[in-house]
Structures are given as C-alpha cells and as structure tokens.
A = this chain, B = another copy of it.
Amino acid sequence: MSLPVPDRPLLAVLRGELRDPPPVWFMRQAGRYLPEYRALRADKGGFLDLCYDPEAAAEVTLQPIRRFGFDGAILFSDILVVPHALGQNLWFEAGEGPRLDPPLQNGLLDGLQGMPERLQPIYATVSRVVADLPPTATMLGFAGSPWTVATYMVAGRGSKDQAPARRLAYRDPVAFARLVDAIVDLTVDYLCGQIDAGVHAVQLFDSWAGSLAPEQFRRWVVEPNARIVAALRARRPGTPVIGFPKGAGAKLVDYVAGVTPDAVGLDETVDPAWADATLPAGLPVQGNLDPLALITGGDALARAVAAIRAAFPVRPHIFNLGHGILPDTPLSHVEQALAMVRA
C-alpha cells in the first residue's frame, strides 16, 4: 500500500487543472510586510546577509505560509545573486537599492571571476523550506530574467527607464548578447540547483520587460527566456515554469508564443478579461491584483478581487498580486483579500 500523494493545488493548476477557489500566494519579497520579518531582519542585519543565511531565509520564506496558509511559498532571495555569482560585487544601499560593481558599461565580463559557489546557501535555504513546508503548499523558486538582470549589471544599479542597458543593447548588440548568454547559462544552472534542492516550480521575473521596443523585446526578452525554458525542460523535465514579463502589454502574446512557459504572470495593468480572451485556451495565468488596491482595502479591494475572480471561468488561475507586495500593506487587508478569494 503506497502513501497518498499530497495534493498541492498550486502545482496542480500549473499543470493545467482548474481549481475553484484558485490557489493563492502573494509576490515577493516574501515577508517584508510582516512584523515577524521586521523583527528577524532587525536581528540579522542586512538584506543580503539574510538572503545568504539559509536558516534565516528559510524562516522568512515560511512566515507568510504560517500566518496566512498561502498555497505557494516563494523563496526569499534576490534576483541579483546571479550577477554576484558572475563576479560583480553586490551590496544594498539603505533606502536606495542595489549596487553592482564594477558596472559593465560595455557589457564585458572579462575582468570578472565567476563564483557560482555564492549560490550554494540558496540551495540550502530551499532544502530547509521544503523540509518544513505543509504538504499542500508548493515551493516556488525563482530567478530574474536575463534582460532585467542585465539592466542592473550594466548600470551598476537601478536606472531610469533602463537607459544604460537599452543604449548598450542598441550600440553593441554582440557584446550585450554575450552578457545575456552568460546570464542565461548561469540562470539555468541556478534554477536546476533550486529544483534539485526541492522547489516544485520556478518563476522567471522579467521586471523591466516593459521598457523595450518590439524588436528589442523579441531579442532580449522572448529569445533568452525561451532558451531558459527549453534548457530546463531538457535538464529537469516536469518542473513547471511561470514566466512573468512585467509591462509587456499586448506583447504578452508574443512572449507566450515564443517562450512557451507553463503559466504566465499578469501584471496589474493587464485587463484580465483581455488576457482570458487573447491567451491560448488552457494556459494557466497568475495574477493580478493591484498592490495599491490591497493597500486601500474596503470596497476598492473587494471590487478588484471580484473582477479578477470572475475573469477566468474556464482557465486555470493562480490568484496573486500583479506586482510585489508593498511593505506598508495592512495585514487585515491581506486577510480580507484571502477570505474573498477563498469564499
């Protein structure tokens, strides 16, 4: 007699099943709106220290699951650990954001010494989370998509309209392609490592997909993400990939056709009715509550949740935000949203 296999609703939807109510989780970072996260953070020091501390990162990953019973646990980490492992120095300036040094103004990685061992603690985090995860919850790994990661590597920080990387990509597409290729290769290894450590599915965050003109979008968003998806299917078949090209607008259709993700994330500007009418039948979608509707609560939140719930009557759907949760989100609003989704 074999043991019953636990049902993970989120994983089931990623494999194409309809679930009503839909599974739900809220986008990263995992717990930054939680008092228990702030307490741990005050104890443990900097954000990056936390990412590389498997015990602490596992705890932060699990905090929202314990409090809200989300269907998905999103790894607590940062997309910039990949440039760090490619050899750039990485730190976070308080109140300002990430810094990568040296900035790769010409896209050249030549002087850098790759340090893939920097990713080892993250695999250890995954193992710890999976060991403690409720059997119905899905463990989600992630990485930044190459275009988005490259925008930080080139500028050495966040940049207005991603102009330094966009200019480089036009000016020297050969050098930029080499940089993107290096990110693709390490990202595939990194996601395989997460899968080997136990994640059930992975998400590719292309946070700055929205700033590219169509030809550039095909070349730097669709093509590299497609290569990652193909490599994962070859090397670790059976692990679903969620693609999330934030801000892609109508080009979401090209993304889905070219990348062939197992599911696609919708940002909060996407009309869910348009997505349902336009995307391939049966393709699971994830999203797309406006984080500001969640901040607002009350009627605005109720209307927004209801509109999303009604939009996908016959399509596999994972309820989520359309963008990362904001640190000043009231916990009672998260509870209100969850109650409505699960009603």
Residues of A within 8 A of B (CB): 163, 166-167, 170-171, 173, 210-217, 247-254, 268-274, 278, 290, 292-293, 295-296, 300, 303-304, 307, 322
Is A212's CB under 8 angstroms from B269's CB? yes
Q: What 8 A-B pairs are tightest by C-beta distance, nearest first? A: A249-B249, A170-B296, A250-B250, A214-B271, A213-B290, A213-B268, A170-B300, A250-B274
Q: Smallest CB–CB gap between A295 and chain B, Å?
A: 7
B residues in contact with A307, CB < 8 Å: 214-215
Subset of 13 A-B contacts with CB under 8 Å:
A167-B295, A167-B296, A210-B210, A210-B247, A211-B269, A212-B269, A213-B268, A213-B269, A213-B290, A213-B292, A213-B304, A214-B269, A250-B250
Select from chain B the residue with minimum beta-carbon distance to A288: B213
Contact of A250 among B268, B270, B303 (CB under 8 A): B270
Is A295's CB under 8 angstroms from B170's CB? yes
Is A254's CB under 8 angstroms from B269's CB? no
Is B166's CB under 8 angstroms from A210's CB? no
Is B252's CB under 8 angstroms from A250's CB? yes
Q: Smallest CB–CB gap between A305 and chain B, Å?
A: 12
Select from chain B the residue with minimum beta-carbon distance to A170: B296
Is A269's CB under 8 angstroms from B249's CB? yes
Is A292's CB under 8 angstroms from B250's CB? no
Select from chain B the residue with minimum beta-carbon distance to A217: B269
Q: Smallest CB–CB gap between A135 and chain B, Å?
A: 35
B residues in contact with A166, CB < 8 Å: 292
Is A170's CB under 8 angstroms from B293's CB? yes
Most buried by B among A210, A269, A304: A269
Select from chain B the residue with minimum beta-carbon distance to A307: B215
Q: Smallest CB–CB gap between A147 and chain B, Å?
A: 13
A322 to B210, CA, bound (A): 14
B residues in contact with A248, CB < 8 Å: 249
B residues in contact with A292, CB < 8 Å: 163, 166-167, 170, 213
A269 to B248, CA, bound (A): 8
B residues in contact with A249, CB < 8 Å: 247-250, 269-270
Q: Smallest CB–CB gap between A217 and chain B, Å?
A: 7
Is A271's CB under 8 angstroms from B251's CB? yes
Using known A-B contacts A210-B247, A215-B307, A250-B252, determine if residue A171 contacts B296 with beta carbons closer than 8 Å. yes
B residues in contact with A254, CB < 8 Å: 271
Select from chain B the residue with minimum beta-carbon distance to A311: B214
Contact of A303 among B215, B252, B303 (CB under 8 A): B215
